[in-house]
Amino acid sequence: MTDQTPLVEMKDICISFGGIHAVDHVSINLYPGEVVGLLGHNGAGKSTLIKILSGAYQMDSGEIRINGEKATIESPRDARRYNIETIYQTLALADNLDAAANLFLGRELTTPLGFVDDAQQEAETRKIMARLNPNFKKHKEPVSALSGGQRQSVAIARAVYFKARILIMDEPTAALGVHETQMVADLIQELKKQGLGIFLISHDTREMMDLCDRVSVMKNGKVVGTERVEDVTEDDILSMIILGKNPLREGAEEPA
Amino acid sequence: MSSDTTDIPADIDPANQPHHTTRGLRGFLDATELDTRLLGMVGALALIWVGFHLYGALVNGFGAFLTPRNLWNLSVQTSSIGIMACGMVLVIITRHIDLSVGSILGFCAISMGVIQVDVLPAWLGLGHPMIWVIAALCGIALGAVIGSFHGFLIAYGKIPAFIVTLGGLLVWRGAAFLVARGETISPVDSTFALLGGGPYGSIGATGSWIVGLIACAAIVGLLLWGRRQRRKFHFPLRPVWAEWFLGLLGCGLVIGAVLLVNAYPWPRGIVRRYAEAEGITVPDGGLFISHGFAIPVLILLAVAIAMTILMTMTRFGRYVYAIGGNPEAAELAGINSRLMTVKIFSIMGGLAGLSAVVASARLNSATNSLGTLDELYVIASAVIGGTSLAGGVGTIYGAILGALVMQSLQTGMVLIGFDAAIQQVVVGSVLVLAVFLDILYRGKSK
């Protein structure tokens, strides 16, 4: 896989908020068809790093390459141009709008006269939801009336519909039940087969071991280590998260 | 794109499935897809109207409320507040507030007064037919510029809307005084004055029938088009009887309104003067000349239709709701919320300018105190009409109904002889009560 051009390369990324280095010289990459997990405590810098890629934050220094070419991402609009889609922890859905309006938010289908084509949008939404979540029926109601899993499927449908090549999922299963979590896991496998690159953020170490090809552990804005999941145990990862040291590279029995 | 939406077998096509299965009132509401909230507001309005009429009939011996004359006047009085309420809906949906609309109205009115009385006649000559157009456009543009400036301070200066517009409330009221040193400018241009209503500022019986028939045709056209769209995309259809019911109800209301405004004749004195000027002899029984729809009411209708289209059919409207529902989500979806804020306040200011046209034309004069306290009535109208101060929720038709409720209360209390102090107590209480009922309703419907 290493001879391939990475889909995403983030090199030496730094960002600070009021003197705190939220992300401190971080480098990370992602290949097509690969799921890379980002792990770490709250405040370790995972979400911040990912928000730089999705255009929500602007990095202070560093470089982002998409398909080997230098990319400028200064807004969510820029990110979308590079086919980067993000499913946020907070879901980023407008609760008062229905599924179709959310799916197409910012990229509405329009009639020749320039009006929003609600009927076409709803028809497209029904089609994609039939594929992703066949039980989804509440097309006319605002998404506030939906369950966590249904809301999540709207967010995922948005990424799938617009043919994302790079997908960022920030805690996609945090608000979901067992069955819905499984649905998201299946979907990740399917998207992976289609050659998407996926960044996954989660606190659930076991889930990450199942879903990811590689995991990167962050602590205090720095990457502690990046390892293939088959090379590490759950305990290794936990000790990386907690101690901020990589047992495979530095030796687990380092003197205190 | 539409070709792949027509390949569903007819027997499982949702367009051919029964639309609703429940019976009774619930079934009726499901079938017609009428908004229960809308029905509640119409019911409240009917209650207010009938209540005032009966009170007048029983206590004062004369029910003055449900008369063509009063209802016609009510429609004219609602126009100014109603026009601004349409803009306030956008402002409140996006979680802002605009306290300055009354002062912007005053400032625009006095500026237009100066333009059409002092400036333009000197250029174009007194009574030039373009004066009213230029003056009105200047007023609307002035309002829009002031609104944009407020919006700019809010969006890019990050000053809360409450503070910016509270400042605007004082600044523009003071500026209105300075423009004409506190003088009242009267009379305004005679063509301009028609925009405020009155016998000459109405379109008469024939004109009203034409407007009414166009409205009926539009209602039928919209129902047919909606049905066609649903069939095309295989969405469940309304039962045919429900379509007929909606069509007949809509056309009935329109025709009722036309009959009502045509039943209100010009006052005798004006008829006499008109007859003299036109060289008509007035028969013994008097000449019956209908008012018809007042021009300010038509302006309000045009604003309401344009704003409804803007809010429900365009990206702009969609983004207004999205920003109100979840500002972060809107921003992440690539919506430029700041620019949207500027545009929204610009629309609000422009509508305040248009409202200034109507209000000063109606008074046939411009004073620096015009529109005082209007901001509160406008906000109250929007809120009574179901616009949520928490953001994300609100409709144009609701705001206009809200304005009608507010104005009905005021007019009704004047008619039955309540004094100003009691009026204030009632209007204030109704505002709080309406919002409380709305909270109860929303809690239940969740």
Structure tokens at B261: 């405004």
> Quick one: closest CA in B to A101, which residue?
B318
B32 Cα distance to chain centroid:
25
Q: How many CA atoms lie within 13 A of A51 on its CB side?
A: 18
pLDDT digits (tens, 9 = 90+) for B24-60: 777 888 888 888 888 888 998 999 999 999 999 998 8
Contact criterion met (CB < 8 Å) for B335 and A56: no
pLDDT digits (tens, 9 = 90+) for B95-151: 999 999 999 999 999 999 999 998 998 888 888 889 999 999 999 999 999 999 999
Q: What is the mean pLDDT of residues B240-244?
A: 91
3-state secondary structure of A27: strand
Would residue A138 count as lying in a domain? no
Structure tokens at B141: 């543009």
The 10 Å Cβ neighbour count of residue A174 is 14
Would residue A79 count as lying in a domain? yes
Q: Which structural domain, as residue segments, surrounds residue A66?
A: 8-94+164-250
CB-based contact (8 Å) between A4 and chain B?
no
> Quick one: closest CA in A to B388, which residue?
A96
Look at residue A155 in the predicted model and tell me its pLDDT: 86
Residue B318: list chain A partners with CB under 8 A: 97, 101, 105, 108, 116
Look at residue A254 in the predicted model and tell me its pLDDT: 45
Pure H helices in chain A: 46-53, 76-81, 99-103, 118-132, 148-161, 178-193, 205-211, 234-243, 247-250
Look at residue B198 in the predicted model and tell me its pLDDT: 86
The packing angle between helices B295-313 and B68-93, to 10°, is 30
Would residue A189 count as lying in a domain? yes
% chain B with pLDDT above 70 = 94
Q: Which of B309, B318, B328 to mutate to test the interface with A (most CBs of A within 10 A)?
A: B318
The angle at the Cα of A68, spanning A65 to A74, to the nearest 5 degrees, equals 25
Would residue A78 count as lying in a domain? yes
Q: How confident is the model at residue B18 (pLDDT cuts 50, 70, 90)?
A: low
Q: What is the mean pLDDT of residues A74-81?
A: 87
Spatial CB neighbours of B428, under 8 Å, sequence gap ≥ 6 = none
> Would you say residue B295 has pLDDT above 50?
yes
Number of structural domains chain A divides into? 1
The span from the CA of A159 to the CA of A169, in Å, is: 10
Residue B235: list chain A partners with CB under 8 A: 119, 122
Q: What is the arrangement of strands in the sheet containing A35-39, beginning at the earlier edge strand?
A: A84-87, A166-170, A197-201, A35-39, A214-219, A222-228
Would residue A26 count as lying in a domain? yes
The span from the CA of A152 to the CA of A155, in Å, is: 5
Contact criterion met (CB < 8 Å) for A115 and B314: yes
Q: How confident is the model at residue B2 (pLDDT cuts 50, 70, 90)?
A: very low
Largest pairwise CA distance in chain A:
71
Q: How confident is the model at residue B9 (pLDDT cuts 50, 70, 90)?
A: low
Q: Which of A86, A105, A140, A161 to mutate to test the interface with B (most CBs of B within 10 A)?
A: A105
Q: Give the mean pLDDT of chain B.
A: 90
> Would you say residue B420 has pLDDT above 70?
yes
Look at residue B6 in the predicted model and tell me its pLDDT: 44
Contact criterion met (CB < 8 Å) for B332 and A77: no
Pure H helices in B94-203: 101-114, 120-124, 131-155, 161-179, 190-193
Look at residue A252 in the predicted model and tell me its pLDDT: 45
The 10 Å Cβ neighbour count of residue B379 is 23
CB contacts under 8 A, A 143-182 vs B, are: 145
> Would you say residue B205 has pLDDT above 90?
yes
The single-letter code of the amino acid at B388 is S
> Would you say residue B395 has pLDDT above 70?
yes
Structure tokens at B234: 């295989």
Q: How far is CA A236 from CA A43, A232, A251, A252, B279, in A?
A: 20, 6, 11, 9, 104
> Quick one: closest CA in B to A120, which residue?
B233
Tell me which of A83-97, B142-156, B374-388 is least confident. Answer: A83-97
Q: How confident is the model at residue A4 (pLDDT cuts 50, 70, 90)?
A: confident
In terms of pLDDT, which residue wins out, B320 or A86?
B320
> Would you say residue B19 has pLDDT above 60?
no
- Selection from A156-170, A234-248, B193-207 with the highest mean pLDDT: B193-207
Look at residue A34 in the predicted model and tell me its pLDDT: 93
Look at residue A89 in the predicted model and tell me its pLDDT: 66
Look at residue B321 in the predicted model and tell me its pLDDT: 97
**B187 preceded by a cis bond (ω within 30 of 0):** yes
Look at residue B67 in the predicted model and tell me its pLDDT: 93
Contact criterion met (CB < 8 Å) for B332 and A88: yes
Structure tokens at B245: 């019911």
- Selection from A246-250, B272-276, B397-401 with the highest mean pLDDT: B397-401
CB-based contact (8 Å) between B366 and chain A?
no
Would residue A103 count as lying in a domain? no
Would residue A226 count as lying in a domain? yes
Residue B14: list chain A partners with CB under 8 A: none
The span from the CA of B89 to the CA of B97, in Å, is: 9
**CATH number of the domain to which A59 belongs:** 3.40.50.300
CB-based contact (8 Å) between B8 and chain A?
no
Q: How confident is the model at residue B342 (pLDDT cuts 50, 70, 90)?
A: very high
Q: Which of A51, A85, A97 to mutate to test the interface with B (most CBs of B within 10 A)?
A: A97
> Would you say residue B20 has pLDDT above 60?
no
Tell me which of B99-103, B322-326, B430-434 is least confident. Answer: B430-434
Contact criterion met (CB < 8 Å) for A96 and B321: yes
* Domains in chain B: ranges and CATH: 33-202+294-445 (1.10.3470)
> Would you say residue B7 has pLDDT above 70?
no
The span from the CA of B70 to the CA of B404, in Å, is: 13
**The model's pTM:** 0.88
Q: Are the CB atoms for A196 and A165 separated by under 8 Å?
A: yes
Q: What is the mean pLDDT of residues A69-78?
A: 89
The angle at the Cα of A63, spanning A62 to A68, to the nearest 5 degrees, equals 160
The angle at the Cα of B430, spanning B424 to B432, to the nearest 5 degrees, equals 105
Look at residue B317 in the predicted model and tell me its pLDDT: 96
pLDDT digits (tens, 9 = 90+) for A182-216: 888 888 888 888 888 999 998 888 888 888 999 99
Q: Give the mean pLDDT of chain A.
A: 86
Would residue A82 count as lying in a domain? yes
Pick from B425, B404, B423, B328: nearest CA to B80: B404
The span from the CA of B407 to the CA of B41, in Å, is: 14
CB contacts under 8 A, B 216-235 vs A, are: 229-230, 232-235
